[in-house]
Structure 1
Amino acid sequence: MKKITKNIALFTFLSLGNVVFAQNTKNIPEVTYSDDKALIVKTDHKEIDAKRKAAEEKAKLPKPYDPKADAEKDIENLILIAKKENKNIMIQAGGNWCIWCLRFNQYVQTTPELKKLVDDNYLYYHLNYSPDNKNEEVFSKYGNPGDKFGYPVFIVLDQNGKMIHVQQSDVLEEEKGYSLKKVKDFFKTWTTKS
């Protein structure tokens, strides 16, 4: 009983301390006491539900990033193919941990006009960034755009492997998803064909 009482006292102290120092933080539960001095902790159920729904969505989406891939070698091979096919290379950098990375991939793969636009004009590569493989050397070649823009971030290479554009993804969003027009315009802008 003493251990439980000490743990409750410690939790109360830490919780009250967090409430004082982080009053505007959503992740801190609201701590109050009932008339009989019982500790009451209120949780933000909307935030918990949103996290649960995001986890369920993420579990269902395809995982295109391969942490075991040799990205440098893969991109070198894509450059050889790009020269032959007169296509640019579209690198979508991110990871299977990133729900927006997975959503973008799914959006392109399941939207016929986007899929055709990409397939006809690009060699597409998913460059992994995760604790398993940060691909630091590859990212450093392109100025570490994930550090600046977050993920996903897009790196466009010409047929010779020269970086010609870096695109953050949030400008391609609309409401709670991606904008067909914005994504289509982005892909059309960086093709080799007029």
Structure 2
Amino acid sequence: MKKVSIIAFVVLSTVIWAQNTEIKGTPEAKNSGDKALLVKSDAAELEAKKKAAAEEKAKLPKPYDPKADAQADINKLVAQAKKEGKNIMIQAGGNWCIWCLRFNQYVQTTPELKNIVDKNYLYYHLNYSPENKNEKIFAEYGNPGDKFGYPVFIVLDKNGKMIHVQQSDVLEQGKGYSLEKVKEFFNQWAPKKIIN
């Protein structure tokens, strides 16, 4: 009986040892080490992307003014729009928002888009930031940033009536914006010219 117990113990120990040795060589065991490397790699990649975005953001113009009296500015634009027969394009966002800054830069440096905007719109950058959330104005337009994120575009007719709200992600392409989609958006909401 003792002999059988000793043999059983030795066999069982050998089986357990063999399984443990095998487990260390299995893809699952290797993957757990790989997963740790992937997590470290992902963290490093994320950090590199954050750094690149911060560098890009630092180079881009900052069109949003947290100190501006947005309501007074928009009132002046409405008066000017009536005289010029243009609509008002409000780009809501902030200098903290890389996509807001990218859109502004894209429009300003793409002659075809800048021409459409200058011809048809008075353009305004409505600030949303911790310093000034412009809550009253955003509430007046239905708080579109809460629904769509930033930037978000609010189009007013020449009388200051809101005629459209546009989320920006549908205009994106890769790390920027689609020329055709942005052009179509600007052209669609430009004031309609009356032809006699």
1:156, distance to aligned residue in structure 2 (A): 0.2
1:173, distance to aligned residue in structure 2 (A): 0.6
CA distance in 2, matches of 1:82, 1:141: 19
Q: Aligned residue for 1:18? A: none
Q: Is the radius of gyration larger for structure 1 or structure 2? A: 2
Q: TM-score, normalised by structure 1?
A: 0.78
Q: Which amino acid in the other structure matches residue 51 of structure 2?
A: R
Q: Aligned residue for 2:173? A: 174
CA distance in 1, matches of 2:100, 2:139: 20
Q: Which amino acid in the other structure matches residue 100 of structure 2?
A: C
Matched ranges for 1:117-128 at <5 A: 117-128=116-127
Q: TM-score, normalised by structure 2?
A: 0.77
CA distance in 1, matches of 2:134, 2:96: 15
Q: Which amino acid in the other structure matches residue 185 of structure 2?
A: F
CA distance in 1, matches of 2:108, 2:134: 25
Are 2:112 and 1:134 aligned? no
CA distance in 1, matches of 2:60, 2:141: 28
CA distance in 1, matches of 2:185, 2:40: 44
Q: Aligned residue for 1:80? A: 79
> Unpaired runs of 5+ in structure 1?
1-29, 33-40
Matched ranges for 1:31-110 at <5 A: 42=40, 44-110=43-109
Q: Which amino acid in the other structure matches residue 148 of structure 1?
A: K
CA distance in 2, matches of 1:175, 1:70: 34
Moved over 4 A (4+): none
3-state SS in 1 of match to 2:130: coil
CA distance in 1, matches of 2:40, 2:115: 49
How far does the alpha carbon of each residue in 1:62-101 deviate from its partner, in whole angstroms, 9 at most, with x for none?
Answer: 0000000000000000000000000000000000000000
3-state SS in 1 of match to 2:114: helix
> Unpaired runs of 5+ in structure 2?
1-34
Are 2:143 and 1:165 aligned? no
CA distance in 1, matches of 2:175, 2:132: 29
1:145, distance to aligned residue in structure 2 (A): 0.2
1:31, distance to aligned residue in structure 2 (A): 6.8
CA distance in 2, matches of 1:48, 1:56: 12
Of Structure 1 and Structure 2, the greater strand share is in 1
Q: Aligned residue for 1:38? A: none
| Percent identity for Structure 1 against Structure 2 | 75
Q: RMSD of the TM alignment (CA)?
A: 1.5
Q: Which amino acid in the other structure matches residue 42 of structure 1?
A: K
3-state SS in 1 of match to 2:164: strand
3-state SS in 2 of match to 1:42: helix
CA distance in 1, matches of 2:97, 2:167: 14
1:152, distance to aligned residue in structure 2 (A): 0.1
CA distance in 2, matches of 1:151, 1:141: 17
1:174, distance to aligned residue in structure 2 (A): 1.3
